[in-house]
Structure 1
């Protein structure tokens, strides 16, 4: 199928790629005879097909000129082929290794690279997003989306009154929502970032590329626990060259807290009481932080921009790394991740007379240890959980 998708391609070897597909894709890693490393994916569900199409539209909008402004690599579309009423997509391999949020902010130089990488995304010219027909949200529209989300969570009857009050105060504060929209990845997290040593080498998962609130890309960073987390924020602000508004960290914290509301709504929408109960426990844990005397309101305050230390006090009790990306309506789309390739240990030779696998040198293909099971999936999120403004038809 890959050779049908890419004219002239000759595949030397291939191996299954499943760790980050979460059951929504069939994915295979490829080595071409000319040395190229590629991946081909075919969606298994309508939701995965929509997400893959959105990712492809975004990647195609990121032209060579736009990519040249970024200090890291992005996947590039190579080809496609029809399969069972959908299509398989071939992309190239972006080198790098995955790290947790805490690891990304554990060392000064790497944390600085992370902050500058995010700032570079937010500094991109916005015109190409409109040219590609991707979402563009004003500050007012970003605020309205949050108001709608809080309203839906409140309607479940499971949202603690203290959090409803806290979030309503934030959305009622006009000063908090005075910002200039920027290009955003839209679903950026530690799992989106690839690194080599002390620098960011790639960013994956662009299905929610848009113009909107830059704070959406930062909540995971502000709640990381690395010793150099403050340096990451400082590098980000320096990279924005004064363009970042003073209340951006507070909105980022709000988005972080709202991930728990999204998890609650995911449980309600899918009629999964175990998810609902899990979300309620997490929300109750956040209430404890809200009532702690070290906590501060999210509504705008006079004074300088928050430091990472201030941010940690605000969300010190918020459980992190527990709410999956599905809660926000976005599938985990790092389909170009090769970090688990060493788990395979060897990949099969592709030839007519192949009788045994050919061991390959995998030292530059990822950092996962050989062996072990793939990560389990929490299940497929509802296809309609994405805000209406983010549903895109496949125009690629």
Structure 2
């Protein structure tokens, strides 16, 4: 049961000494009800957000996110062109804890919308490059994970092995993925700071620029391709512009095989989905994953698009992977054809970046407290005062399928 808005507003005053709340409303995000969240206005003009996890998974994620936010010092944040949520306070509640952060206004868009126009696409690419250009020392100082290129490959090999052990991985995919991990050239890259859980839902957009990035629970040093597979599978007409902006932002630090690894990570999302179903003993999820894997097998024989590596033949339809994950209900298996959309990417652009040549980018206590809700207008909380959270802006529609994709990325690895 969701906690009432006024209860969370009162809890915030316990978490933040001296806080006087003048207005509160439920904050919605596409997290499948994993959090109760309320946006607050304080008497000093601040806008804050209080979130309380409703599941063990959400609690673990929130705790990891808090460690990362605390690791990102003022100096680190000054290197970024966008905001990162600022921790304000916390308070225990019902065996877990409520976390209060500064609220970042803006909208959350889908992957295709983020790559629909040049300006916003360039902002997205530049934002990712800025993350990958951060000095890695602060990650180790905070005790966060650091993964070498060899360890990144070992992790993929281990994931493939566990998936194969289920007995449900088609032989064609097993062979394809093993050939990719055997290709030494695919795994020679410089590790960087990575968000680790980046998706379209991570970006808060103000007009045509990235205003903030949220969700830092997987902050680490590792393979930069982990943050890019969602971008390379977007279908917006300016997707290439986002990639170009990323390459320029890296200043020659992007390796030429990065797109292929990113697309491999996209394919492996289905492996994680299958493992999640096996671990949860959920036959519906298992059947769903097997159906999608079978769809991808057909794509192995469709030699019409970019290759993972010279040995593996054509790239599978990662766009199809993402679409299947996003559009399939968690308990209802569904099938959808796979059609690769990676032909539009000119991977030679990355080779320019590898040589240091510039890729041209056009400039271009729970007692109710008195609250004045008049500031919110029609957006004030309903009579029941209940709060829940979906993902993005306060007016974003619920989308449990998006959470399915994010959950897959956090499980089975």
Smaller-chain TM-score bracket: 0.7 to 0.9
Q: Please point out which of 362, 369, 374 is paired with 1:358.
A: 374
Partner residue in 2 for 1:368? 395
Which residue is equivalent to 1:105?
115
Would the alpha carbon gap of residues 287 and 138 (structure 1) be closer, same or farther in structure 2, given more than 3 Å must change? same
User: What is the rounded CA distance, in whole Å, between the counterparts of 1:247 and 1:380 in structure 2?
Assistant: 24
Instruction: Find out whether 1:231 has 2:241 as its counterpart.
Output: yes
> SS of the residue aligned with 2:204?
strand
Please state how far the C-alpha of 1:85 moved relative to its aligned partner. 2.3
Tell me the equivalent position of 2:338.
none
Residue in 2 that maps onto 1:82: 92
Structure 1 residue 69: deviation in Å? Answer: 0.4
Equivalent in the alignment of 1:318: 320
Offset of residue 13 of structure 1:
1.2
Deviation for aligned residue 1:300: 5.1
Match of 2:158 among 139, 148, 151: 148
Residue 173 of structure 2 corresponds to residue 171 of structure 1: no
Deviation string, structure 1 residues 170-210 (Cα, Å, up to 9, x no partner): 00111110001000000100000111121111101000000
Task: Tell me the distance in 1 between the aligned counterparts of 2:77 and 2:135.
Answer: 11
Q: Is the 8 A contact 1:167 1:298 kept in 2?
A: no
Q: Which has the higher helix share?
A: 2
**Alpha-carbon offset, residue 379 of structure 1:** 12
Does the alignment pair 1:273 with 2:320? no
Deviation at 1:42, TM superposition (A): 1.6
User: Conserved in 1, the CA contact under 8 Å of 2:270 and 2:321?
Assistant: no
Instruction: Give the alignment's Cα RMSD to 1 decimal.
Output: 2.7
Alignment partners' CA distance in 1, 2:398 and 2:263: 34
Aligned pair 1:289/2:289, yes or no?
no
Cα 1:322–1:92 change in 2 (3 A) is farther
Give the unaligned 5+ runs of structure 1.
Answer: 302-309, 325-349, 388-396
Q: How many Å separate the matches in 2 of 1:92 and 1:31? A: 10
Q: Name the CA distance, whole Å, in 1 between partners of 2:250 and 2:292.
A: 33
1:264 is displaced (CA, Å) by 0.7
Gap regions ≥5 residues in structure 2: 1-10, 327-367, 380-391
Instruction: Give, in whole Å, the separation in 1 of the partners of 2:235 and 2:176.
Output: 24
Alignment of 1:152-301 (within 5 A): 152-299=162-309
How far apart are residue 317 of structure 1 and its match?
A: 6.3
Change in CA separation of 1:50 and 1:91 when aligned onto 2, cut-off 3 Å: same
Instruction: Pick closer, same or farther for the CA change 1:95–1:300 going to 2, 3 Å.
Output: farther
The answer to whether the Cα contact below 8 Å between 1:47 and 1:382 also exists between their aligned partners in 2 is: no
Aligned counterparts of 1:229 and 1:379: Cα–Cα separation in 2: 20
What are the equivalent positions in structure 2 for 1:343-354 lying under 5 Å apart? 351-352=369-370
**3-state SS in 2 of match to 1:280:** helix
Name 2:106's counterpart in structure 1. 96
Corresponding position of 2:27: 17
Structure ranking higher on relative contact order (CA contacts 8 Å, 6+ apart): 2
Contact 1:121/1:183, CA 8 A, preserved across alignment: yes
- After TM superposition, the score normalised by the length of structure 2 is 0.78
CA distance in structure 1 between the aligned counterparts of 2:203 and 2:28, rounded to whole angstroms: 18
- Counterpart Cα distance in 1 of 2:407 and 2:104: 27
Q: Return closer, same or farther for 1:100/1:171 CA change in 2, 3 Å cut-off.
A: same
Distance 1:23 1:379 in 2: 15
Are residues 386 and 261 of structure 1, via their aligned partners in 2, closer, same or farther at CA, if it must alter by over 3 Å? Answer: closer
Q: TM-score, normalised by structure 1?
A: 0.81
